[in-house]
Each structure stands twice: as C-alpha cells, then as structure tokens.
Chain A
Amino acid sequence: MMEMLTKATLETLYMVIVSAIFTVGIGLPLGIILVVTSENHIATNKWISGVLSYVVNMTRSLPFIILMIFIIPITRWLIGTSIGTEAAIVPLVFAAIPFFARVVESALHEIDDGVIEAAIAMGATPLQIIIRVMIPEALPSLVLGVTITVINLLGYSAMAGAIGGGGIGDLAIRYGYHRFRTDVMLMTIFLLVILVQSIQSSGNLIAQKIIKNRRK
C-alpha cells in the first residue's frame, strides 16, 4: 500500500506544481491586465477589460469535471493525448487561471490609488508602475493568493483520475471507494489534510515574513 500511496502522492505533487507554475505564469499577467485596463487606472481600455472579464467569468462558471471534458480537443492538440497525468495538467491550468486572475485583480485593487498617482507624477511608465509599484506593494496578498490557488489545484487534481491522471484522489476513488478499502481511504484523506495544511502554513509564513520585514 505504501508504494501505491507514494506513487499517487508524487503524481499529485507533479500535477499541482506544474499546473501552479503555468497558472501563475499566465494568470498573473491576466490579472494585471484586468486591473490596469479597468476604469480610472493606468491603461484604461473598456474593450479589453470587458472582453477579458467576460471570458474569465465564462470559464469560471463551468464545473471542473465538465471543463475537463469540454477542453479535451485542446488537451489533445497541446499534449498529443487526452489521457494521463500530463493531460490532466491542461484542464487544471485552464480552471485555475481565471480563478487566480481574479485573486490577483483583487490584491492589486487594494493598493492605495495615491501611491500609483505618485508614481505617475514622477513620470513612471505603466510597465514601471506594474513592476516597481503594484507587484511589490501587493506582494503579501499575492503570495496568499498563490497559496489559495495551489490548494484549489490540489482539490481539482483529485478529479483528474477521471481522465487517468492518477494522484491521491484517483487512488481514493478506485481503492477506497470502489474496492471498499477503508484503510486506503483514510490514508488518502490524511495525506490530503497534511498537504493542504503545509501549503497554507508555508504561504502564511512567507506572507508574514514579507510584512514583518517591512516593519523593520
């Protein structure tokens, strides 16, 4: 059983870490664009913000299991197959990007307008404002946002078993549920709880450290 659990845990970690990297890589710029194109911001553009917001809402309204099936053609086009751990990463990223973009959006909207105004008055370009003002100012919130997103990804990844993605959730369903292996079920739950707890605490720790550092 240990062997099974180790394999499943590694699969889960692989799916979550790789999809988290893609999610942040794509979701962060998307969230930034949502903010800066919004009304009275540094690059207001009603059209872009309207379209992006609509797309984000649309993707978020699909339950993950449906999204996973719905985008199978895209998965096949990107990975070459729609089955397996790699193939599960694609829907995971698709589901998490809009979520993370909204998290980024709310974190960046929290920044005091005056600080951005001061940067504009100093002659900063929009890109300089994003990189040197907005991201550093919102860093603690962004770190917490990444934490929440990773935990969400962990939750979604449990469903990846449906397309042969493997992982802890898949193990729980195949052995714990279908084969009445209560011991496997309990172990998987225990593992998931440990994972979620450690992700959340490391996120909190990093955010706290940044905030504490700024109180020096």
Chain B
Amino acid sequence: MIEIQNLSKIYEKAHQKVVAIEHIDLKVERGDIYGIVGLSGAGKSSLVRCINRIEDPTTGTVIVDGVDLTSLSGKALRSERQKIGMIFQNFNLLSSKTVFENIAFPLRLKGLDKEQIQKRVLDLLEKVELTEKADVYPVNLSGGQKQRVGIARALANEPSVLLCDESTSALDPKTTKQILGLLKRINKEFGVTLVVITHEMDVVKAICNKVAILESGRIIAEGDTIDVFTRKTSDATKHFIGESVSSDSNHRGNNRLQLTFKGVSAEQPILSGLIRNLAVDVNILSGSIETIQDYPLGKLIVELPGDSNVLIEALDYLSAKGVDAEVLS
C-alpha cells in the first residue's frame, strides 16, 4: 500500500544541514494500522509529510497504492493527494466555515455538485456522530468534536490511506480513547490503511498492528506490535517499550528469570504447572499484564532458589510451553 524506499530529508538552514530522517525503508500493507513512534525531533512529522509530499524528500521514493508520488508534480500530485486523507494534532479546521462546510471543503475543491456534496457530508456527519453540529462553527466544539470533524473531512474523498499526525496528542485520555475507537472502526469498516504518528506508546498498543520506532531520523525497531513489545529490549528501544516490570530490584538472589507470556500462554496456569511437575520453588518478584491490540501480554520476574540444574530444567519446561524466558542473573 505504502512503500518507502531509502527516504531522507535534510533541511538546510543558514548553511547548516539538519538531517530530519535518513535512509528510511518502510512497507505498509493494505489494511494495516501502522504506528510510527518516536520522541519529538525524531523525524516522525517529516516522515509523514513526505508520504503525501507536503514536504519534498531530499532522496528516496514514496509509492502509495502503486503510484510513485516522488515523480509527480502539479495537477497529478494534487489529485493523488486527494486519495490520501490526513488529520492533525491541532485539527486545522477552517474557523471561517461551519462544521458542514469544513467537511464539504475537499468536495468543493473537486467541484462536485451540490446534491452530491449534501449527501456525502450528511453521511459523514452521521458516521462521526456530529449530525446535530452541522451548522456550528469550530470555535464552539470540544477537542474531540473538532478531531471528529477533521476525520470526517479527511474521509470525504474516500481515501485509501489516512495519515494521523499526533491526532490524539491534544486530547484528554477519555477523548483519546473515543478517537482511537473511531479510527479503528474506520480501518475495519472502510478498509482504510492508517499511518499513525505518535509519541505515545499507549496509542500504538491500543490500535496499531505494526509499529516502527524512530530515533534521530532512523528506524531502530519495527515489526508486528506484539513482537516489538515482547522482543528483548535494547537500550535504544527501552524508553519506548519500557520495562513493565522492574528488573533492577535490590534482590540479590540467583536464578532470576524474566518470563514473557503472550497469547495463549498468558491464559494458562504455567507457573503452577512448573511447580508441580518439577517440584521447584518459585518466588514471584514482580509482574504485570497488559493488553496490546486485544492480545494479552504478561511479564513476570521470578526467582528459582536452587542450583543451575533447576534452572536448566525450568527453562526447558517453559520453552516447551511457549513462554519466553530470559535469565537475568
């Protein structure tokens, strides 16, 4: 759906080169909700703006739905842009136009006739549950309502791709949840491919099936969200994925393990099986369970008092049950 090859963006300011993104390769499949996370300044915004060519990449190509956007200009580029919706952190609605006219705006640009516009906008208003706000100006809307108008406007042209640039960063947690639910619905019901730019890992956990972590203009980790979260963390990815359990406790015991349960293994009584079958003692030091994409992910730090044989046996048992075990000490 979206193929990014060797993309770089270098700004030149006062004879100084600032590298925003460097040699990025990325592939987004049709129907994905692809998260791109990174701290501010990591190059997320530049990357997403290169996808619809609001910014021109310095090198590299961007292919959306089979069309190489980097080779286009003028009218051809504008007509491709109409197939890519975009929503923004600050909504960017026109304060001079009503909710109805804001949503109708992209359709008027295209020169559609009145009846078509009327029908389409009313339909979109219903989808984002704002029918009663049609004649209201944006200044009177709450943040969540504004973003829903933004989403309706972005969907007006029935795009195949929706770019979400920090689309929930200006919203409170409850509204964020609603907007994320709406985005997920849009992905499921209309088959729109989503690219979600965010600095909040929770957004990725909630809706993205794929994720790329961006740091200093480079991708440092990418893949299925669940895999990226369960993979052993490097120092670089650590502050995004975080360690949901504290591993640096003062406990000085031997045979400390970090166990990662995902999917089916998270729902089975593995530990009690371990205790019963191998007749070992297990101390639970800390643990947590979180849900990523409706998929349970458990992390547990345990200690197995005893010698190294106990440890080896336990590791065998655990891997047979499909649990990732990492020896901490």
Contacts and interface: CB of A to CB of B under 8 A. Distances in A.
Interface string A31-55: 0000000000000000000000000
B140 to A, nearest CB: 7
Contacts of A119: 105
Q: Chain B interface: which size bin?
A: 20 to 34
A122 B106 contact: yes
Interface stretch (A91-99, A110-118, A160-168): A110-118
Contacts of A124: 78, 109
Contacts of B240: none
Contacts of B157: 122
Interface of A: 112, 114-115, 117-125, 128, 132-133, 136-137, 139, 214-216
A132 B108 CA distance: 10
A3 to B, nearest CB: 47
Interface string B281-304: 000000000000000000000000
Given A114-B88, A216-B136, A216-B137, A122 B96 contact: no
B92 A132 contact: no
Contact of B88 (A118, A136, A215, A216): A118
Given A118-B86, A132-B109, A216-B140, A123 B94 contact: no
Identify whether the interface residues of A are mostly helix, strand, loop, or mixed.
helix
B52 interface: yes
B319 interface: no
Nearest to A128: B109
Contacts of B86: 118, 121-122
20 contacts: A112-B92, A114-B90, A115-B93, A118-B88, A121-B54, A122-B81, A122-B82, A122-B106, A123-B81, A123-B106, A123-B109, A136-B96, A136-B97, A137-B96, A139-B96, A214-B96, A214-B139, A215-B137, A215-B140, A216-B136
B105 A214 contact: no
Interface string B79-91: 1111010101010
Contacts of B272: none
Interface string B121-155: 00000000000000111011000000000000100
Given A123-B82, A125-B78, A132 B105 contact: yes
A122 B136 contact: no
B309 interface: no
B95 interface: yes
Nearest to A213: B137
Closest 3 CB pairs of A and B: A118-B92, A136-B96, A123-B82
A125 B82 CA distance: 12
A127 B109 CA distance: 11
B329 to A, nearest CB: 51
Nearest to A140: B96
Given A121-B54, A122-B109, A123-B109, A215 B139 contact: yes
A39 B54 CA distance: 15
Interface centre among A119, A122, A123, A128, by most chain B C-beta atoms within 10 angstroms, is: A122
A216 B94 CA distance: 14
Contacts of B96: 136-137, 139, 214
Given A117-B54, A132-B109, A214 B95 contact: yes
Given A132-B109, A215-B140, A216-B136, A115 B92 contact: yes
Contacts of A215: 137, 139-140
